[in-house]
Every structure is written in structure tokens, then in C-alpha cells.
Amino acid sequence: MAGLGVGVFSLSSVAFTGYLVGAQSAYGWGQLTRMAVHTSLGFIVLSSGILTLSVCRSRTWISATLTSDVHDPVRERRRILGASISIMSVVSISVGLTMIWELYSTAVDEQRNHLVEMVKSRTEMIEAVARFDAENSDDVPGGARAATLSQVRDAHQRSPGFGRTGEFSLATRVGDEIDFLGPSRSPPGTLVETLGVGFVRAEPMRRALAGETGSLIGTDYLGNKIIAAYAFVPSLSLGVIARMDLAEVRAPFVRSALLTAVLAILIIGLGTGVSFVSIGPLVKRVEAQAEGLRTANVELTREAAAREESVKALAESEALLQGVYETYPDLQFVLEPDGTIERFSAPDETVLYVPPQEFMGQRMQDILPPDVGSLWSDALGRATEGLGTQSFEYSLSTTQDGDRSYEARVSMMPNGGFVAVSRDITDHKQAEEALRVSEDRFRIALKAPGLGVTHQDRDLRYTWVHNPHPDLEPGEVIGKTDLELTTEEDGAVLMALKRGVLESGIGRHEEIRYSINGVRHYYDITVEPLRDPAGHVVGVTTVAVDIDDRKVLEELLVFVAQRNWGEDGDVFLRSLASFLGTTLDVSHAFIDRLLPGGTKVHTVGLYSLGELVPDIAYDLEHTPCENVMAGEFCSFPSDVQQRFPQDQWLAEMGVESYAGMPLWDSSGNPIGLVGVMGTKPLGNPELVEKALRIVAVRAAHELEQQRSMEALRRSETIVANSSDMLALLDRNYTYLAVNPAYVRPFGLKAGEMIGNTVAEVFGEEFFTTVMQPHLDRCLEDVNVEYKTWIDYPVSGKSYMHVNLSPQLREDGEVAGFIVNVRDITELEEAQQSLSEMNLGLERLVKERTSQLVEANSELEAFTSSVSHDLKVPLRAIDGFAGMLVERHASALPEEAQRLLGVVRTSTKQMANLIDDLLDFSRLGRADKVITEVNMQELAQAVFSEIATLEEDREIEFSLDKLPTIQGDLGLLRQVWSNLLENALKFTGQTTVARIEVSCQHGSDHWVFCVRDNGAGFDMAYADKLFGVFQRLHDENDFPGTGVGLATVQRIIQRHGGEVWAEGEVDRGAKIFFRIPHTVEPT
């Protein structure tokens, strides 16, 4: 039903929207649109109705089904069905009628329009007739108007009308009356020819005659309801009406409305009948079944409630039992007559040590170890015999908790079974054992030495004592008070303390000193009240412990810790020695400092026989102190003299015992020792060792401090006497310390400068412009050096070298600066004059060099020029001599020809000389071209070239491995050429010429050597070897110009090297030349 409603509703909505859009766009808001809207709305209303009904129905149905208190569901359902059918019927009929009404309205409107058209055409026709008559009826009596009216009336009377009741009606106005023209379709007898204008019914004609045009629904003169259209023909003063009975228009609609209603009622009635007939019995059957079910359900519910009640009661009693069972702390068993476990409860399942399922159904005797099992069976047996509840103890070994002890009770139940309870009594037993052990321990503790325990009554008389004092027997103490056992003063203190405990009932703990038998000891005493079982204080119990040793060490510690950290080290060390002596009750105590060299010590504190004595120094050798310095703690509790017979001092002082401890500085190096000596054997060596260990740390620290103070004093002396100006600044450039040299130029004392800032001392401007940048840089942990002129108030302007070093804290931050200033005015002046001199010198060198260069180039130009010019006459001499010989040979005697030959030979020599000279001069001018030169290949090539000229000679040439060097290939070729030519030349007179070329590798150069076995030379003339035109040999023996070696020297010098020679007459010569690894271009 709801589905149907939703379907219809959706369809209607869609249709509505579609109609709305379609109709509006096609027709505008015309009649059809209104129809469509109405239709759609009708369906929407219908579907809404269905929906509402369906919702109501389902709700009612649900409540009707679920609630059992509805009296008559069938009637109810019928009522709902009836109501819904009624609503549906009303809605359907309403929709149908509305539709019919709408159609009817449309028909009426259309009919009105139709009538208007008809009237209009009739009017036009009449006017046309009138116009015609007006032109053609001049001779007609009455005129044109009468003619026309006659024609019109005639036509009108013949007009058959239209539809069933439709007709035209014409009338003219005659005075106050309406004059109808001719008959109409009106029934005979009803025709009224004239009517008064005031006649109410003839509304259309009255309007027409008033000249109006239009349509209306009104009543005609007969009182019929009509639709009429009216118009007026002015030329004839004629009103024209087309009219129709409204009944004629209405008739079909009324018919269809009636038909619709009847049909609807019929269909609804039929449908209702069918539904009542067909649905009624079905519903009834279902209802009957539902009713049956409901009744059964109610009974079931009642029954279930009753059962629940009884179960609950049972559960409560069970829970009660279980509660008792579970909260009971012991293991409980219910056993069958044969001992089988029926049920059991364990407060904590872990105490079973066996999984519970293994318990159930087993006999108690079987699951326990045999010995325990027999205990159980005995007990069960006794219980069975009517001996009442049996109880017994047993113990079990468990893997989890070790041995456990149990106490079990067994009672017989009326059914022959048993109830057994087993309690774990292990803890109880252990507590008992612990108590026993603790009592034993207490007894042992009481036997400890130095521990005394006493009881005193309310009068503070001793009633029980345990180990009161080594010197006192218990019998001496019982019945006495403290006043009788110690001095009056100490006794009073003790009594007051104990009386306080008696009165307040609150225990006290004190460290207290009192004398027993005239010897005073430190005791740690605890006094507690003694109470009777009623809680009344009946006395005190006192536990006293002798704490003499501890006290001594404590006092030493306090001395060492508290005394004089700021005090002068010397004073402290002396007082420490004294304190050590008195506290340990020894005859001598000393603190020694190890002197440099490590074989002697010097006392810095010496206590002897109750007083401090002046310090002494002694050799460590053969003394117990030597043993101490060699190792760690050393003690000779007695007979020390016998151990160190060579130690005179021990004998002199009558020393019997000795103990010493070395002192180390913080780096672990020995720096001294501390020790004690006694004229009696040492009573308590352990105490002495502890005491020395305590003292050693502080004494070592003091010695080290002293040493560093001395070092500091030394460096202070150095600083104070330094001629350098030294100062220490903090981060804010404030002077922390200055040496005298620093303040001297200011004319200030150190104290007057310390605390001031650098800016205050030097002036703000000098500080910010000169010093601050350097100081800031130094702040970044950089050493800074700079030089500056400083104008000092007293010493005046000086040039100063300033060195700033950052002073670092332990965390690496710059804490301040160490300033080191040195006056370098004189140094600077000296340097300045030196640099001035250097400048002058440089200038001079430059001048000289340029002069030299000039002179050199002049010389070269001169040489070149001279050589050229010299060649002209030479050519002439040789040329003309040659021509003479050539052209006039026949005319010349032989002698003349020979002489001409001599002339020509001399000319040749001179020409060679000039060529060599030219080559030599050219060397100074040509630019060097530095390349890599393989000397090995070069020397070999040059030799091969030269040797071809000397093919007839026997030559042994050896060439070492030569390096590749930097140099000018052309020039170096010249060098090899000249040197090897020389070697060949000077070996010319030996039978076998030997020429060796070798090279030695220096750190930055090479040394080449050309050695021959030729004529050699006298070393006395070695310096002349390399001069131009310097010849050491006869021209006849060794021809040459004397320029070759000069050329070599010049080339080698141009390579930055040098040439030298070694030789001996007739023993050959060695020519060396050195060339650096790196050759600078010119």
C-alpha cells in the first residue's frame, strides 16, 4: 500500500512538473494549464492520502499485533478499512467533480467568445445592408432606415437560430421602450414586442441599446438564465443579441458529473464489498491464532517466573555456602566413607601443588606420600571408631615452596563420610624458629667485646649487668649507682640522662664520655625504659659501646676537614703533626718533604715529646722512612731500632715503634711522608694506619700547594723582573694584573692600574681605533700580534710590539687576555735605516746595472762594428793576394809566392779570430729559449759530428747517463761543441785520446764533467783559462783563438751556473760545469 502511494505520488509529482513546464511554455496560463494543474494536484492529494493511510495502517497494525489488550481487533481493522475507503472515495469523487467543473467553465467561456463573434458578424452584415440601403432607397417610403429595418426584420424572422436554444434577437429603442423586431425562437405567446427600458430582465439588450458591445451571463426577459453577446448598430439604432440558454451548455457536464459520481460510488461500494467479503474471514483466522499464542505466552511467562524464583533461592543458599567455603582460610575436604575425595575447597589453588582434577575421586591416602597417607588413614580410622574429631600434624615437600607443615582435623559425618580441614602452619613454625634463632643471636651479640648491657631499677641501682667494663666484675656493680662507679661529675650526667628516661618513658641515645677506674673513654649509650607486663616503667636498660677508636679518627677527620684552608701551609702542617702526636698518644709525629734528588727529606712539622721542635733534614738511607718512600704504608709496631741499627736518631730518641705513610702529589709522584714514632710499642696499629691515611691526603695536598706556591713565587719573580711589559686582562678589558715593567712607562704603581679598563688607561679613542679590533680577534681564541706607536705619559712615544694571547677557562671559553708588550723602537729604527740603506743600495745597483748594460751593449756594438770593419781589409789582403797568385803566378818567383802564402795564412787566422770574437759578443745579446734538453743525446750528437773530422785518430769516448735539463738547446750545443773540440784538440798529441763525460746529481743542480787525457794545464793558471784570448798553450801546438772556454763560461753563466777546471800538465784536464735544475729565462 505504501509502495503504491509512493509510486502514485512520484508519478503525480513528475506529471505535475511536466505539465507545468509543458503547458506554461505552450499555452501560457490558459485554461488547459489550469486543467492540468488541477489534475496533477488531484493525484498528489490522492497519493498523499494513500501514503498517510498506509502509515497509519501499519502503525495501528503493529500496535494491534504487539499489544494483547486490544478488545476487538477485527472491528477495529474494519473501522480503519471503512475510514480509508471513505476518504479515498471522497477524494476520488472530489477530483472527478473538480475536473468536470473545470471543463464546464472552459466550455462556457468558449461559448461566450463564440457568441461574441456571431454578434459581431451579424452586426457587420446589418451595417452592410444599411449602407446599401442608404445609397439605393431614396425612393423607399420611410427612407433607407425603414427599408433596412424591414429587410433585417424579414431576415431575422426567417433565421432558424442555432443550437437547441440559440437565437439572435434584435431591438430598437423607441422612447423609453425596447422594441423587439419580429419573432424569434421564443415560444409563441412569450414574445414581448416592447419592454420598458427599466425592465430588469432584458439586461443584454439594454446594454446593446446603450451602445455597448460584449457578453454576459444573465437572465433574459423571460427570466431564463442565458449566455448572451451583444452589440449595437448605430446607423439603425439597432441592438443585436446572440443568446443561448445556459442550461444547454450545462447539460452535458451535469450529466457526466452525475455519471461519474454514480459510477464512483458503485465501484467503491463494489470494491468495499469484495474486500470485506474476501479479507474479513482471513483476518479473523489470523487474529484467532494470534490470540491463542498470546494466551499460551502469558502462561509460559508465569511459569518461568516461578521457576526463576526457586532457582534464585537455591543459588542464594549455594552462594552462601560457597562464600563460607571459599573464605575459610584452610583446605577443606569432604570425604566419602572410604576416604575418596568428594569435594574440596582451597582458598588458593596454588597451595594444592597438584592439579585439582587429580584430586577429585582419589583416596586421600593414595595421593599423599606413604608416611603422610598412613597418618590420614589412622586418623580416619580413629574418627570412624567414634573417638570424635581427630587432629594431627604432617609435613609435605613441595617443589614450589619447599617444605610445608600442616595441621589436619578430621570429623565423621552422619553418612559415614568425613569432613576434613587442613591448615598450613609453616609460617607459624618458621616464626617460632626465627624467634629462637634471634634469641641465640642476641645471646651471642651480648658476648661481643666493648658492649655492655645493664638493667637498673627505679632508684637506678644496677640489678643485672652483662659485661659492664673489662676492668669491672659484675659483683662490683650490682646494687650500686653510677655515682659510685665513676667520678662525681660523670656520674651526675649519667644519672640525669637515665632519670629523664625513667620519667618520660622515652628512650635516649647519646655519645658520652666518662671515666671508669680513672680512665676516660668514649661510649655510645642507648637507654631504654624497662616495663612490667602492665606497661609501667620499672627501671632502665642501658647498652653501652666503647667507641674510643672511632672518636679518635673522627677528631682527626674534623681537624683535617675544618682547620685553616686559608691558613699558611707551614703553620698548618706543624699543627697537624702536633695534633697527630697528641691524639694518637705517641712520642713523635712528623711530616717530611722530599727534597729534590729523592734521597733526603726535610721536616715541615716535627712533634717530639709533647712539643713542636725546629725542623731538621736527614738522609733517607737506612731509616724506616726509606721503606715508607719505597712503597705504601709501613709500620713497625715494636723493636724498630733492631730493624734499623744504622739509624742513629732512632737510638738517640729511644724509639721503639714506628709507622709511616708516603705522600703523593695529584700526579702520583712521591713528595714526602707522614709518620709517628713511639717510645713504647704501638697499642693499636690499625688505628694508627687509619689515622695516617686520613692525614696523608690533606698533608700531601698542603705540600703540593706549598710547592706550587713556590713555583708561583718564582714565576712571579720572573714576571716582576721581566723587561717585557706583561699584563692580564679579563674579558671586559679590565686589568687584573700587571708587572712593574708594564706600569713604568705610565709612571703608575701596579695597584693604581689594576681594576681600570684598557680604555681608561689608553683613552677611549686609542682603545677603539687601535686596540679593540685586535682584542676582539683575540676573543675568538686567536693569538694576535701587532705593532703600534704608543705615546706613554712618562717614557714618551715608543714603537711597541704587542702580543695578545687568549687565556682559556676549563670549558674552553676565553676568560681574558695575556698581554705582552715589547719596546721595539730601536729595532724599528735600525730596521728603517737598514731598509733605507737597502733602498739606496738597490738604487745604486740599478744604476750600475743600467750603466753596465749600456756599456755592455756599447761594447757589443763596438765589437760587432770592429769585427765587420776589420773584415774589409782582410778580404782585400787575401783577395788581392789571391788575385796576384792567380793572375800573375808566372811572373812571380817561388819565394814571392811562398811569402804571399804566408800573408794569406795570417789573414785566415785573423779572420777566424774575428769570427769567434763576433760569436762571443753575440752570446750576450741573443735571447735564451728555455726548453727541455736531453744532454745525453746532445753530447752524443755533437761528439759524433766533431769526430767525423778526426777519423784518422784513435779516440775512446765514454758517455755516462746524462739527464734531461732545462736550457737553451743552441747555446748548450755550443757548450758541448767547444768542450769536446777542446778535448780533442788537447789530446791531439796522445796516442789514444780518452774523453769521458759524466754527470753528478746535486740537490738543486747537476754537475757535468768532461775529462780528457790530453796536455792538461798548470792549476796556477786555472783562473786564466776562461778569459777571452787567454791561451795557456802554444799556438803552434794547439791552434785556437782562446775564445772557446770564454764562450762556454758565458753560456753556463747565462744558465745560472758556473764553470771550473782541474788539471795538471800532461795529465789531462777536467772541465766542470754546473747547471741548476730550474733555469730562469732572461
Partner 1 sequence: MSNARVDFLVVDDSPQDVELVVAALEARLPGVITVSAANGAEALETLEALPPDKVPRVILVDIKMPKVDGFGMLRRVKSSSKTSSIPVVILTSSAMDRGVRLAYALGANSYVVKSTNFEEFTETVGRMGEYWLNVDLGPPPKVGGTAVD
- Positions touching partner 1 (CB under 8 A) are 867-868, 871-876, 878-883, 886, 904, 907-908, 911, 915, 918-919, 922
DSSP summary character for residue 363 = B
Alpha helix stretches (DSSP H) within 563-666: 569-584, 624-630, 640-643, 648-653
* Count of other CB atoms within 10 angstroms of residue 981: 17
Nearer to partner 1, 137 or 867 (CB): 867
CB nearer to partner 1: pick between 57 and 1050: 1050
In the complex, least distance from residue 875 CB atom to partner 1, rounded to whole angstroms: 5
Measured from the CB atom, the residue of 871 and 1033 that comes closer to partner 1 is 871
Burial, 534: exposed, middle or buried (Cβ in 10 Å; 0-12, 13-18, 19+)?
exposed
Beta carbon nearer to partner 1, 869 or 1035: 869
Specify the residue, 912 or 936, whose C-beta has the smaller distance to partner 1. 912
- At 1048, give phi and psi (nearest 5°): -55, -45
Q: Which is nearer to partner 1, 817 or 920 (CB)?
A: 920
Helices marked H in 67-142: 73-136
Q: Which of 334, 338, 332 is nearest to 363 (CA)?
A: 338
CB of 787 to partner 1, least distance (A): 55
- Would you list the DSSP string of 514-564? EEETTEEEEEEEEEEEEE-TT--EEEEEEEEEE-HHHHHHHHHHHHHHHS-
Minimum CB distance to partner 1, residue 856 (Å) = 17
Q: Which is nearer to partner 1, 313 or 861 (CB)?
A: 861
Q: Collapse the DSSP code of 528 into the 3-class scheme (helix H, G, I; strand E, B; otherwise coil) and give the result.
A: strand
Query: Which lies closer to partner 1 via its Cβ, residue 148 or residue 907?
Result: 907
Among 557, 582, 520, which Cα is nearest to 690's? 557
SS3 sequence, 686-711? HHHHHHHHHHHHHHHHHHHHHHHHHH
Nearest distance, CB of residue 934 and partner 1, angstroms: 22
Minimum distance of partner 1 from residue 923's CB (angstroms) = 11
Is the distance from CB of 741 to CB of 749 less than 8 angstroms? no
C-alpha cell at 383: 574418627
Q: Which long-range contacts (CB under 8 A, 24 or more apart) does 26-29 make?
A: none
Beta carbons of 671 and 593 less than 8 angstroms apart: yes
Give the shortest CB-860-to-partner 1 separation in angstroms: 12
Q: Judging by beta carbons within 10 Å of its beta carbon (0-12, 13-18, 19+), is residue 563 exposed, middle or buried? A: middle
- Tell me whether residue 350 is exposed, middle or buried, using C-beta atoms within 10 angstroms of its C-beta: 0 to 12, 13 to 18, 19 or more: exposed
702 vs 916, beta carbon nearer partner 1: 916
C-beta of residue 1047 within 8 angstroms of C-beta of residue 919:
yes
CB 133 within 8 A of CB 151: yes
Q: How far is the CB of 877 from partner 1 (least distance, A)?
A: 9
How much is the CA Rg of the chain, to the nearest whole Å?
78
Nearest to 976 by CA among 999, 992, 955: 999
Query: Is 860 or 1062 the residue whose CB approaches partner 1 more closely?
Result: 860
Amino acid at position 217, single letter:
I
Nearest distance from C-beta of residue 832 to partner 1, angstroms = 48
Q: How far is the CB of 903 from partner 1 (least distance, A)?
A: 11
Shortest reach from residue 1029's CB to partner 1, in Å: 19
- For residues 701 and 973, which CB has a smaller minimum distance to partner 1 in the complex? 973
Minimum distance from residue 942 beta carbon to partner 1 (Å): 19
For the CB of residue 911, give the shortest distance to partner 1 in the complex, in Å: 4
Shortest distance, CB of residue 1043 to partner 1, whole angstroms? 15
The smaller minimum CB distance to partner 1, of residues 649 and 880, is found at 880
Q: How far is the CB of 882 from partner 1 (least distance, A)?
A: 3
* β strands within 532-578, DSSP E: 537-546
Closest CB to partner 1 among residues 128, 876: 876
For residue 272, the Cα-to-chain-centroid distance in whole angstroms is 85
In this complex, which beta carbon is closest to partner 1, that of residue 563 or of residue 922?
922
Residue identified by cell 659484675 is 474
CA distance 417 to 23: 103
d(CA 468, CA 491): 15
- For partner 1, give the closer residue by CB, 645 or 873: 873
**Can you give the length of the chain in residues?**
1082
Pair type for strands 657-664 and 670-678: antiparallel
| CA 326 to each of CA 323, 329, 354, 364: distance values in angstroms, whole numbers, following the listed order | 5, 8, 18, 21
User: Rounded to the nearest whole angstrom, what is the least distance from the CB of residue 865 to partner 1 in the complex?
Assistant: 9
Q: Of 869 and 954, which CB lies nearer to partner 1 in the complex structure? A: 869
Nearer to partner 1, 22 or 882 (CB): 882
Structural contact between residues 468 and 452, judged by C-beta atoms closer than 8 angstroms: yes
Least Cβ distance, residue 1067 to partner 1 (angstroms): 38
End-to-end CA distance of the chain: 123
| Residue 170: half-sphere exposure toward Cβ, Cα within 13 Å | 24
CA distance 263 to 257: 10
Can you read off the three cell numbers belonging to residue 1012? 780528457
Give me the helices (H) in 960-1018, please: 969-986
Grid cell for residue 593: 718533604
- 477 vs 971, beta carbon nearer partner 1: 971
CB burial readout 215-230, b (16+ within 10 A) else e: bbebbbbeebebbbbb
Nearest approach in angstroms of CB 883 to partner 1 is: 7
**Three-state SS at 258:** helix
Contact criterion met (CB below 8 Å) for 186 and 222: yes
Which residue, chain included where needed, has cell 426584420? Answer: 153
CB of 836 to partner 1, least distance (A): 43
